[in-house]
Amino acid sequence: MPHDFMPGLAGVPAAKSAISDVDGQRGVLEYRGIRVEELCLRSSYLETAYLLLFGHLPTQPQLARWHEDIVHHRRIKFKIVDLLKCLPEQGHPMDALQAAVAALGMFYPGRNVQDVDNNYWSAVRLVAKLPTIVAAWARLRHGNEYIPPRDDLGFSENFLYMLTETEPLPLWSDIFDDCLILHAEHTMNASTFTGMVTASTLADPYTVVASSIGALKGPLHGGANEEVVQMLKEIGDPGRARSYLEEQVRAKQRLMGFGHRVYKVKDPRATILQGLCERLFKECGNSPLYEVAVEVERVAEELLKGKGIYPNVDFYSGIVYDKMGIETDLFTPLFALARVSGWLAHWLEQLRENKLFRPDQIYSGEHNRSYVPIEQR
Ligand code: ACO
């Protein structure tokens, strides 16, 4: 049966899912029916990850066990640390993360993805170990020692500690935890779809997550957060925002951190992240990048009016991380270590009624050509 070709599969449902929902006209994002605003206010990243993976908020004993299981699996094997040490230090952290996650699967070779117990432990390991890998790489590439996780610290607190060897201010881990909640899941996006295609072959979850990491790296997806901060630094001063944007629009260049396939209003995550920036600056002083960003948003609204192009999640996240002293090329790995819970939730959901992804194509080439011998071409 012939179908219309939809470039980028825009508007084509690729799955039925009960994990999250976006209302792109009203700017509403819900995880398992709960709005992200409420989760940021009342939940933690680990609890939100549980909600996404298992479909309900945990009871106290369930949350305690989930927390304990994560804490017990945060460490990474010394061979993974050695693998990271062997990678070129100027390489991108997303490539290091992807390589380490693919290698992780070699240590936990359970191939039967119908084994519910095994799947639980795979999810625990991936949620627990991604932050350790990201922090380890961030230090090893500068010749610093890997700092193992500390069992007495919460998820975000521990990550920031492993990165800096210093216990973070409670405000910083709170804000960082909200950032992780906001990045944990987002319906059928490019990296989730990539993981689901891989998962549909019944590949193991380490391979699934490694393929999602690859898709997230691109500048049209998660990689945009890195480019936003570079752009804001290049603009340098709110007074230069207008001329910079006018030039971009004239040259038909895309503004990084703006636009979304689904949202036709400002991304609710961008609004929350903007609030987090302001909370952070109240305690720790302003950031010149933020002032530039606000002006870029104002001018962009004027110049791109009518196109439905507003800030997305990547626009303000980097400003928060930058203020915390996190290096720019780690922003997308931070996205990945949060999004892993969403990827895995889709993996578990799809396994219940798996069907191999094998779409069709519309052939636009020739038929019945003859082979021409090389000396006659
Ligand atoms: N800046 C300027 N113009 C834009 C932008 C932008 N950021 N985004 C879209 N447009 C314009 C396009 O040029 C196009 O204009 P035209 O109709 O005159 O040709 C129109 O809006 C529609 O654009 P499409 O590319 O068809 O829209 P699509 O849904 O494919 O784009 C995307 C979504 C890829 C996110 C796009 O908005 C973009 O490239 N943004 C910049 C990169 C970015 O911030 N990515 C992160 C997205 S969030 C995430 O993945 C975590």
Are 146 and 80 within 8 A, CB to CB?
no
Q: Copy the structure tokens of residue 259.
A: 């636009």
Task: Examine residue 119 and state whether it is found in any structural domain, yes or no.
Answer: yes
Top mutation candidate among 182, 225, 254 for ligand 1, by most atoms within 8 Å of CB: 254
User: For ligand 1, what atom is nearest to the CA of residue 248?
Assistant: 2
Query: Where do the H-state alpha helices sit in 43-188?
Result: 45-54, 60-72, 78-86, 93-107, 116-140, 155-164, 170-183
Indicate which residues carry an active-site annotation: 260, 314
Task: Examine residue 286 and state whether it is found in any structural domain, yes or no.
Answer: no
- Give DSSP secondary structure letters for 344-375: HHHHHHHHTT-----------S--SPPPPPGG
Task: Examine residue 77 and state whether it is found in any structural domain, yes or no.
Answer: yes
CATH of the domain at 55: 1.10.580.10
Query: What's the whole-model pTM score?
Result: 0.96
Q: How far is the CA of 356 from the centre of ligand 1 (A)?
A: 30
Q: Please state at what angle helix 313-323 crosses helix 170-183, rounded to 10 degrees.
A: 160
- In the DSSP assignment, the letter for residue 169 is P
173 lines ligand 1 (CB under 6 A): no
Top mutation candidate among 309, 316, 332 for ligand 1, by most atoms within 8 Å of CB: 309
Nearest CA, atom 28, ligand 1 = 261
Top mutation candidate among 249, 307, 310, 331 for ligand 1, by most atoms within 8 Å of CB: 307
Maximum alpha-carbon separation in the chain:
76
Please give the C-alpha separations between residue 132 and each of 148, 161, 167, 207, 275, in angstroms, as whole numbers. 8, 10, 15, 18, 28
Task: Examine residue 136 and state whether it is found in any structural domain, yes or no.
Answer: yes
215 lines ligand 1 (CB under 6 A): no
Nearest CA, atom 26, ligand 1 = 261
Q: How far is the CA of 172 from the centre of ligand 1 (A)?
A: 32
Task: Examine residue 127 and state whether it is found in any structural domain, yes or no.
Answer: yes
**Using alpha carbons only, what angle is made at residue 185 by residues 109 and 361, rounded to the nearest 5 degrees?**
75
CA distance 248 to 239: 16
191 lines ligand 1 (CB under 6 A): no
As for how many domains the chain has, the answer is: 1
Give the sheet arrangement for strand 28-31, strand by strand: 20-23, 28-31, 34-35
Task: Examine residue 212 and state whether it is found in any structural domain, yes or no.
Answer: yes
187 alpha carbon, distance to own chain's centre: 12
CA distance 89 to 51: 36
Q: Which domain holds residue 156?
A: 46-169+185-218+333-352
Q: Please state at what angle helix 78-86 crosses helix 116-140, rounded to 10 degrees.
A: 40
CA distance 110 to 118: 7
Nearest CA, atom 13, ligand 1 = 254
Q: Copy the structure tokens of residue 346.
A: 């889709």
**H or E, element range at 191:** helix 190-199
Positive or negative: CA dihedral 122, 123, 129, 133 = positive
User: For ligand 1, what atom is nearest to the CA of residue 190?
Assistant: 50
Counting other chains too, the contacts that 5-9 makes at CB distance below 8 Å and 24 or more residues apart are: 5/362, 8/261, 9/193
Q: How far is the CA of 311 from the centre of ligand 1 (A)?
A: 11
- Give DSSP secondary structure letters for 113-146: TT-HHHHHHHHHHHHHHHHHHHHHHHHHTTTPPP
Q: How far is the CA of 333 from the centre of ligand 1 (A)?
A: 22
Are 372 and 15 within 8 A, CB to CB?
no
Task: Examine residue 85 and state whether it is found in any structural domain, yes or no.
Answer: yes
Q: How does pLDDT run along the chain (377 residues), one tens digit per residue?
A: 557 899 999 999 999 999 999 999 999 999 999 999 999 999 999 999 999 999 999 999 999 999 999 999 999 999 999 999 999 999 999 999 999 999 999 999 877 899 999 999 999 999 999 999 999 999 999 999 999 999 999 999 999 999 999 999 999 999 999 999 999 999 999 999 999 999 999 999 999 999 999 999 999 999 999 999 999 999 999 999 999 999 999 999 999 999 999 999 999 999 999 999 999 999 899 999 999 999 999 999 999 878 889 999 999 999 999 999 999 999 999 999 999 999 999 999 999 999 999 999 999 999 999 999 999 99
314 lines ligand 1 (CB under 6 A): yes
Task: Examine residue 113 and state whether it is found in any structural domain, yes or no.
Answer: yes
Residues in CB range of 116: below 8 A, 6 or more apart = none
Burial 276-288 (b: 16+ CB within 10 A, else e): bbeebeeeeeebe
Are 336 and 185 within 8 A, CB to CB?
no
Are 21 and 10 within 8 A, CB to CB?
no
